[in-house]
Structure 1
Amino acid sequence: MTAERAWWKEAVVYQIYPRSFNDSDGDGIGDLQGVIERLDHVADLGADVIWLNPVYESPQMDNGYDISDYRAIHEEFGTMADWEDLLEEVHDRDMRLVMDLVVNHTSNQHAWFRKSRERDPAYEDYYIWREGGTDEHGDPVPPNNWESFFGGSAWAFDQERGEYYLHLYDRSQPDLDWTNEAVRRDVFDVVQWWLEKGIDGFRMDVINLLSKGEGMPDGDPDGEWIGSEHFINGPELYGYLDDLDDETLSNYDVMTVGEMPQLTVEAARKYAGADGPLDMAFHFQHTKLDYADGERWSIGDWVLRDLKEITARWQHGLADDGWNALYWENHDQPRSVSRYGDPDEYRRESAKLLGTYLFTLQGTPYLYQGQELGMTNATWDSMGDLRDVDAINHAEELLEREGVDGYDDLKDVVGYRTRDNARTPMQWSDDENAGFTDGEPWIQVNRNYTDINAAAQRSDEDSVYNYYRRLIELREERDVLVYGDYTDLLPDHETVFAYTRSLESDEGTARALVVLHFSDEADSVELPVEYREASLLLSNYDRTDPEPASPSLAPYEARVYELR
């Protein structure tokens, strides 16, 4: 069965984290005019859609995901006039603009929260307030044992109101009470307001956390996040999203993608299937491959067979009902070449290999700024270098563990995991501060910017950037790479990932073969004889049509063939 066509299925999305993209005024913080200055870099790459991380008014406790006014632009990023200029410039380049929608929580500086803590009758129930209890010693305890994603209890006591409020993220980010119809109406009005301004869709932050289980009982203390069984994919979630779609989204030609922690294929089909309220959803299964024993704040070895199993599960699971959102990196994930490739000896080759995987599967590819350059994780020498509230909170927790003497005992794992790795400034050139700013950057620049930067790569035909350009062109030219069925040819091979894509049409059957070698050692693999009749379309090595049936593969080699 061939998936129904849609513009957002054929698009390539480029994610911009504005704080770290380009600074136009020298204050060390990226801004909207800075984004406009660099739009041609994105357009020349071949991207169709820009996903812009939050630029709303915010105290910036969580870098913009703590919103204090949904209808205003944070002054560090510019003005609403700057945002309108950006939208016009994006559309003038035949690209589209998608905004972040953050409506599980707001900032505690939002007017709604200030009025709620004051028990203003119109806003008293806008957030999730509860009385706590006492332990056997008479000391106060939170309403339940739920855990924040950023560490510690998910409850904070508010002295002014005299109650606890729920915050599944930082304590500065109180959760909205979606059971309140007035909350839903205000959120729908915000969505409508931005759609009327001409945006082309939303990426919806942690959107499957909106509905909390009735009574909000204690969670399993051994769960991945304590309490998550009561606040992920809650009983009213589908109804909330369906109403959002019916009343706002369905009236516009826009794309929607939901960020959904602990997402399964079955849940993806429900919320983002052909009849679901969303177009796509992000899952996180492949981003946990390098967790040791499922623990995020650890570093474990990963095996290719696990990636193959995850890929097959999602490729087959959404082939007939749904659509994949494909990604390696985003503002919350460390750099992929440092996790799944070789950031040192084979950085260029492995960055290209990871890109080949991304652009040859069924789904919409999402690129994060700097990924097209093969940017790597940075080095974080001290706690003072960190800006990521999540990493800082967890580092402080880890420092309290027995046997941990200081940050030096933690910096390997914290430095590997911190979201700051994705938030170092975009590396535009080998000028001071990587050409990002004339001032003091808000976060350190990765020290390798003199070797890895856009200026050098745009003029180098063998660069990661230009390889990504060719990948995007290849995907645009061949529907089989967008809509074709997926078949894994070597599910048990330890280092070679080989799969085909096949698409039936009135013109016949189009087929493609992809061979990816996830190893720093040369190897060879035999494929069935039927693959001898093939033409090499793209490789990250200088090849002259090597035979695909028994190729000798170089370290991190990637090849894409057209099968006759």
Structure 2
Amino acid sequence: MTITQHPWWKNAVVYQIYPTSFQDSNNDGIGDLRGIIQRLDYIQSLGVDVIWVCPMYESPQVDMGYDISNYESVHAPYGTVEDMEELVAQVHDRGMRIILDLVVNHTSDQHAWFKESRSSKSNPKRDWYIWKPAKYVNGQRKPPNNWRSNFGGSAWQWDDTTEEYYLHLFCPEQPDLNWDNEEARWAIYESAMLFWLEKGVDGFRVDTVNMYSKPPGLPDAPITDPSAEWQEAGLVYCNGPRMNEYLSEMNAILSRYDAMTVGECPFTADSSTVLEYVGASNKRLNMVFQFDVVDTGQGKVFKYQTEPFAYKLQDLKDAIARTQALLDGTDAWTSSFVENHDQARSVSRFGDDSPEWRERSGKMLSLLFASLSGTLFVYQGQEIGMVNMPEEWSIDEYKDVDSSNYYNMVAERSGNNAIELAKAKASLQHLSRDHARTPMQWDASRNGGFTDDSVQPWMRVNTSTTEINVTQQTKSKDSVLAFWRHMLQFRKEHADVLVHGTFELVDRQNEKVMSFVKHGKSRSALVVCNFSATDSEFPCVGMNGKTDLLLSNVLDVSGGDRLRPWEGRVYTLR
């Protein structure tokens, strides 16, 4: 099967860029669009097809750009609309494509729409957001329901001017738009989608794609945290009754531009709901990010309410199997990813970031996730095996609102108990979003080549840049970077099996080795990965017929019956 028989985005590898941490071109300590332009040749050299630029829109930056105050303008420290136009043109000149973040569940409270909406109850844009009167319990004013914001606290903010609450599923500075208002929806399409599609953008990663339709009556969430007034409500407010209608409406516009869409789809364990979104015949979304893999090992009530490595390998196997199963007997499409701007570094979470094994485990994770079906997404720094911030860094180095809110909550609930705070810090050191947001490590200098060494970067550069950086790895044929380049080429050469094949998990009970078969139309491949720092027996299952070793992340692989620590192999099954 040739790649021309598939939509362009199916065979694509997407490279995600977090602008503020990628490359600073003017030495103000903040990454920018011209910095991305400077690094396009490097990005192209990886063998990727698409770049995804995280929010670069005008924003107060309360939630790192996911609080947008103007969809049609660029955050000034990043550059201008003209810089974006040049970035689009230069990406296209190199034969690649570019997608942007589409953040339309909410805006910033500084957006002109919300300023009008909150100015009075009679304002024409009042109904563009979700406003509700208070309820009173024993004479005390309370929010309309018990929903907890994704960042802690009530999901409702009282507004003194109009004396009502507005809904914010994230920060109070991120009020939710009212998608039930048709006028608001079409304003969103015009400002956030068409403005950039007309400038040549090739699609969107759609933020919180299943939150637009809220349930009628906005009912209370079940009590899962008895000690708190506000409750986790994702299963209540996600996947509402009009989601399919809204996504079909969006797709009617996007399809005119052959635009790619990948939706962020949390709180959606039911595969039938996912299929409603991504079945090709339904014409809604091309694919979504399911959270099964990256949620592995997280806490149930609060994601940070856990211990490092609080999972078994079977949990990761099952999570991968669920996301891959989306393709079985359907016209749907899926995605493969293990890192993004909201996740800690995969080598530190699922590999071994000790000096002895971090390179090999980074290569093994590359082999694993590049062997999964669907569109592959790689996050900046993943290709060189960047790791989490050092354990000895203080909590003051954590900049993300999600991290600080959780740490402060633990401090308040425990009365600043040192043991509880140490547990919170350990969990953040393992799972925090901050780890993905430290500046890109280009060389071994103090600021990693991200900005001049005389400049104070917006966030501290990980000290691992002295050993993990692009410059050093470019010189080595045995580096994580070299392996990623080889793996992406290997994936394309075997696209019929690795990109489009169906997934069969084998030897599920094995506590050290993950094994699976990828079935193509005319051939199959076996992938085995040793998730341990010790030698492991080669699994017997899955070896039907003769096999040829195609790839390993260990240079002197013998193809024998023992897997070295953190070794991964790909075989063809004949």
User: One fold, TM greater than 0.5?
Assistant: yes
- What is the alpha-carbon distance in structure 1 between the residues aligned to residue 448 and residue 187 of structure 2? 42
Counterpart in the other structure of 1:401:
413
Q: After TM superposition, what 4+ stretches of structure 1 lie above 6 angstroms from structure 2? A: 1-4
Counterpart in the other structure of 2:295:
288
Q: Is the 8 A contact 1:335 1:421 kept in 2?
A: yes
The unaligned stretches of length 5 or more in structure 2 are: none
Indicate whether 1:360 and 2:371 are aligned: yes
Structure 1 residue 170: deviation in Å?
Answer: 0.3
Counterpart in the other structure of 1:9:
10
Indicate whether 1:307 and 2:316 are aligned: yes
Counterpart in the other structure of 1:425:
439
Counterpart in the other structure of 1:195:
197
Q: Is the 8 A contact 1:288 1:294 kept in 2?
A: no
- What is the alpha-carbon distance in structure 2 between the residues aligned to residue 314 and residue 387 of structure 1? 31
Q: Which amino acid aligns with 1:535?
A: D
- What is the alpha-carbon distance in structure 2 between the residues aligned to residue 251 and residue 182 of structure 1? 21
Structure 1 residue 465: deviation in Å?
Answer: 0.6
Indicate whether 1:260 and 2:265 are aligned: yes
Q: Which amino acid aligns with 1:397?
A: M
Q: What is the DSSP-based 3-state SS (H/G/I as helix, E as strand, rest coil) of the residue aligned with 1:480?
A: helix
Residues 1:529 and 1:378: Cα distance change in structure 2 (over 3 Å):
closer
Q: Is the 8 A contact 2:292 2:320 kept in 1?
A: no
From 372, 377, 381, the counterpart of 1:370:
381
Q: How does 1:149-548 map to 2 (within 5 A)?
A: 149-190=150-191, 191-222=193-224, 226-246=232-252, 248-264=253-269, 265-276=271-282, 277-292=284-299, 295-297=302-304, 298-299=306-307, 300-321=309-330, 322-344=332-354, 345-379=356-390, 381-402=393-414, 404-405=416-417, 407-408=421-422, 410-438=424-452, 439-478=455-494, 479-504=496-521, 509-527=522-540, 530=543, 533-544=546-557, 546-547=559-560
Residues 1:477 and 1:232: Cα distance change in structure 2 (over 3 Å):
same
Deviations 1:167-212 (A, max 9, x none): 0000000000111111111011121221111111000000100011
Q: Which amino acid aligns with 2:366?
A: G
Counterpart in the other structure of 2:53:
52
Q: Which amino acid aligns with 1:463?
A: S
Structure 1 residue 122: deviation in Å?
Answer: 2.0
Residues 1:263 and 1:409: Cα distance change in structure 2 (over 3 Å):
closer
Q: Which amino acid aligns with 1:417?
A: L
Q: Is the 8 A contact 2:166 2:175 kept in 1?
A: yes
Structure 1 residue 116: deviation in Å?
Answer: 0.5
Structure 1 residue 459: deviation in Å?
Answer: 1.2
- What is the alpha-carbon distance in structure 2 between the residues aligned to residue 158 and residue 526 of structure 1? 61
Structure 1 residue 534: deviation in Å?
Answer: 2.3
Indicate whether 1:128 and 2:135 are aligned: no
Q: Which amino acid aligns with 2:281?
A: D
Residues 1:225 and 1:455: Cα distance change in structure 2 (over 3 Å):
farther
Deviations 1:353-391 (A, max 9, x none): 111111111111100000011100103733432210111
The unaligned stretches of length 5 or more in structure 1 are: none
Q: What is the DSSP-based 3-state SS (H/G/I as helix, E as strand, rest coil) of the residue aligned with 2:210?
A: helix
Structure 1 residue 303: deviation in Å?
Answer: 1.1
* Number of residue pairs the alignment of both structures matches: 555
Q: Which amino acid aligns with 2:311?
A: W
Q: Which amino acid aligns with 1:17?
A: Y
What TM-score results when the alignment is normalised by the length of structure 2?
Answer: 0.93
Residues 1:49 and 1:165: Cα distance change in structure 2 (over 3 Å):
same
Residues 1:186 and 1:474: Cα distance change in structure 2 (over 3 Å):
same
Structure 1 residue 266: deviation in Å?
Answer: 1.5
Q: Percent identity?
A: 44
Structure 1 residue 323: deviation in Å?
Answer: 1.2
Q: Which amino acid aligns with 2:167?
A: L
Q: Which amino acid aligns with 2:324?
A: Q
- What is the alpha-carbon distance in structure 1 between the residues aligned to residue 160 and residue 76 of structure 2? 30
Decide which moves more: 373-382 or 460-469: 373-382
Decide which moves more: 82-91 or 96-105: 82-91
Q: Which amino acid aligns with 1:430?
A: A
- What is the alpha-carbon distance in structure 2 between the residues aligned to residue 450 and residue 142 of structure 1? 50
Q: Which amino acid aligns with 2:378?
A: L
Deviations 1:484-531 (A, max 9, x none): 122222122111112222222xxxx22212111111111112425955
Q: What is the DSSP-based 3-state SS (H/G/I as helix, E as strand, rest coil) of the residue aligned with 2:180?
A: coil
Q: Is the 8 A contact 2:349 2:431 kept in 1?
A: no
What TM-score results when the alignment is normalised by the length of structure 1?
Answer: 0.95
Q: Which amino acid aligns with 2:256?
A: N
Structure 1 residue 316: deviation in Å?
Answer: 2.3
Residues 1:220 and 1:529: Cα distance change in structure 2 (over 3 Å):
closer
